[in-house]
């Protein structure tokens, strides 16, 4: 026992040391990184897929000098494997795997002190909005402004002396507005505030572009964001069977502060969940490609249909930020929103008539989902705010999955006929 512990002592001492070893992956393509980083055959028996390490505590060679992990709330080997994988996908130095996407948000907001200010994009995820409005603002003395990030002068003007965090999502949910990440990052840098990008809707695979003649990845962090967060529950997990979130970043000082938040509030992810997320991440690129092909075809079909009033999809030329999407992303994603001609009754008839699309909240899984934001995901957004954002009763949101295109199209066709 003693000699085994001695041997382990020779390994890197701190969790973050492991991240620095991963620079060897940095020149490899997305799927190669997704499949190999964090998934190395284990040292003892060569297991090709990572073990689920369930230990809650780890033996220490000397009192108070753990080897790498001490208590599993703070970190464990399966979580570290996933964190290395996620960091690699976001071109980040460090990552945290948290027990939900909301946990990622809350862990970051622990950095704030009473009286500080958060500037958030107006059309933000319903859960984020609820937390910001009902807890952070009403109970914890944080100031909040929510504005459209479409006009950069408005963003600059809304940053106050007490602003600490600017929070964006792109595309936004559910109206799919695109935020110019590089431009907002520049403003944040100039003003000395943190810029957080919730990258859930695009996934690490799509929110990146490659400069034409050189192999240079431009993820949000490369474009100047301080932190990228994901709800892993969506595309990274990809199979609608795990709730998880993550934080990716480059700054070691900030990593230490967030590590302190994470271990203090207990927001770290469980080993079982980390295993599932690692498994999902391996196929992220091919799932995204397929879902996006389906989305493009369905969006075009909807746009041509007489029973549809308007389609919002960043891959359609009718989208006001079609060019920006092309400049900043590898593709327009797999989320579509549209207004059906008619009222809430028409929308309800349509939603009841779909057979392959599942009427459900959430997104990013292999199965196609469909929903009515006004009654479902965005019900907690105040009605007057919904009106401003355009989340009307006849507004419908689709997350295209990876089923066969023909079946999805036929399904929409017959449901529109019944509407
Ligand atoms: C789902 C979602 C979240 C919250 O993630 P959970 O894993 O459900 O806690 C945050 N942001 C966006 C954009 C989401 O879609």
Substitution site in 104, 206, 233, 277 for ligand 1 pocket (most atoms within 8 Å of beta carbon): 233
Q: Considering only CA atoms, which residue is closest to atom 2 of ligand 1?
A: 231
**Is beta strand 227-231 parallel, antiparallel or unpaired with respect to 245-249?**
antiparallel
- Residue with token string 């389609």: 311
For residue 26, the tally of other CB atoms under 10 A from its CB is: 11
Region 78-106 average pLDDT = 97
Region 71-90 average pLDDT = 96
Substitution site in 200, 246, 270 for ligand 1 pocket (most atoms within 8 Å of beta carbon): 200
Return the bridge partners of 285, or none. none
CATH 3.30.365.10 fits 2-281, yes or no: no
Across all residues in the chain, what is the average pLDDT? 93
Distances 65 to 9, 70, 211 between C-alpha atoms, Å: 10, 9, 46
pLDDT at 378: 86
Between 292 and 173, name the one with better pLDDT: 292
Angle at 235 between CA 76 and CA 359, to 5 degrees: 125
- Residue with token string 């100039």: 190
Substitution site in 96, 97, 102, 337 for ligand 1 pocket (most atoms within 8 Å of beta carbon): 102
* Residue closest to 240 by CA, chosen among 360, 372, 125, 98: 360
Question: Tens of pLDDT along 262-287?
Answer: 999 999 999 999 999 999 999 999 99
For residue 162, the tally of other CB atoms under 10 A from its CB is: 13
Region 152-170 average pLDDT = 98
Return the bridge partners of 85, or none. none
- CA 17 to ligand 1 centroid distance, Å: 29
Distances 31 to 84, 214, 282 between C-alpha atoms, Å: 14, 19, 7
* Residue closest to 133 by CA, chosen among 392, 391, 385, 390: 385
Tokens of 397: 């949101």
- CA 283 to ligand 1 centroid distance, Å: 20
Class of domain 285-418 (CATH, top level): alpha beta
What does pTM read for this prediction?
A: 0.94
Q: Considering only CA atoms, which residue is closest to atom 6 of ligand 1?
A: 101
Percent of the chain clearing pLDDT 70 (strictly above): 95
- Helix, strand, coil share of the chain (percent; to 5): 40, 15, 45
- Least confident interval from 265-269, 310-314, 316-320, 326-330: 326-330
How far is residue 208's CA from residue 135's CA, in Å, rounded to a whole number? 33
What residue spans define the domains of the chain?
Answer: 2-281, 285-418
Give Cβ neighbours of residue 41 (< 8 Å, ≥ 6 apart): 47, 48
How far is residue 396's CA from residue 392's CA, in Å, rounded to a whole number? 9
- CA 148 to ligand 1 centroid distance, Å: 20
pLDDT at 215: 54
DSSP output for 95-152: EEEESSHHHHHHHHHTT--TT-EEEEESS--HHHHHIIIIIIITTT--EEEEE-SSSH
Percent of the chain clearing pLDDT 90 (strictly above): 83
pLDDT at 1: 43
Instruction: Catalogue the active-site residues.
Output: 73, 125, 198, 234
Using CB atoms within 10 Å of the CB of residue 361, give its burial: 0 to 12 exposed, 13 to 18 middle, 19+ buried.
middle
pLDDT(6) > 70: no
């Amino acid at each position: 026992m003693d000699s085994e512990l001695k041997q382990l002592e020779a390994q890197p001492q701190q969790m973050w040391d492991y991240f620095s070893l991963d620079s060897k992956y940095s020149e490899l393509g997305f799927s190669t990184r997704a499949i190999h980083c964090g998934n190395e055959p284990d040292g003892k028996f060569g297991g090709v897929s990572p073990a689920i390490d369930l230990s809650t505590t780890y033996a220490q060679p000397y009192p108070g000098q753990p080897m790498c992990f001490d208590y599993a709330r703070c970190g464990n080997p399966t979580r570290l494997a996933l964190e290395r994988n996620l960091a690699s996908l976001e071109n980040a130095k460090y990552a945290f795997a948290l027990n939900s996407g909301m946990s990622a948000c809350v862990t970051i907001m622990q950095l704030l002190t009473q009286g500080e200010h958060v500037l958030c994009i107006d059309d933000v995820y319903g859960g984020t909005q609820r937390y910001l409005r009902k807890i952070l603002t009403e109970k914890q003395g944080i100031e909040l402004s929510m504005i459209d990030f479409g006009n950069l002068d408005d963003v600059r003007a809304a940053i106050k002396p007490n602003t600490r965090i600017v929070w964006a999502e792109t595309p936004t949910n559910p109206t799919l507005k695109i935020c110019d990440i590089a431009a907002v990052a520049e403003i944040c840098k100039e003003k000395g505030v943190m810029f957080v990008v919730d990258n859930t809707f695009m996934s690490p695979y799509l929110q990146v572009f490659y400069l034409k003649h050189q192999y240079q990845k431009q993820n949000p962090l490369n474009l100047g964001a301080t932190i990228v967060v994901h709800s892993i529950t969506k595309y990274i997990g990809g199979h609608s069977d795990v709730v998880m979130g993550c934080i990716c970043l480059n700054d070691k000082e900030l990593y230490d502060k967030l590590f302190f938040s994470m271990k203090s509030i207990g927001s770290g992810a469980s080993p079982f969940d980390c295993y599932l997320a690692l498994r999902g991440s391996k196929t992220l690129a091919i799932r995204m490609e397929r879902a996006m092909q389906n989305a493009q075809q369905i969006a075009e079909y909807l746009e041509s249909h007489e029973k549809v009033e308007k389609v919002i999809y960043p891959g359609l030329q009718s989208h006001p930020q079609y060019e920006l999407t092309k400049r900043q992303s590898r593709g327009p994603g797999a989320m579509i929103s549209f207004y059906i001609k008619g009222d809430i009754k028409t929308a309800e008839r349509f939603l009841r008539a779909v057979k392959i699309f599942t009427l459900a909240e959430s997104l990013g899984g292999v199965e196609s989902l469909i929903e009515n934001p006004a009654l479902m995901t965005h019900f907690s957004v105040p009605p007057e705010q919904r009106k401003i954002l355009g989340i009307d009763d006849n507004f419908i949101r689709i997350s295209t999955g990876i089923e066969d295109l023909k079946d999805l199209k036929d399904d929409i066709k017959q449901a529109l006929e019944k509407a």
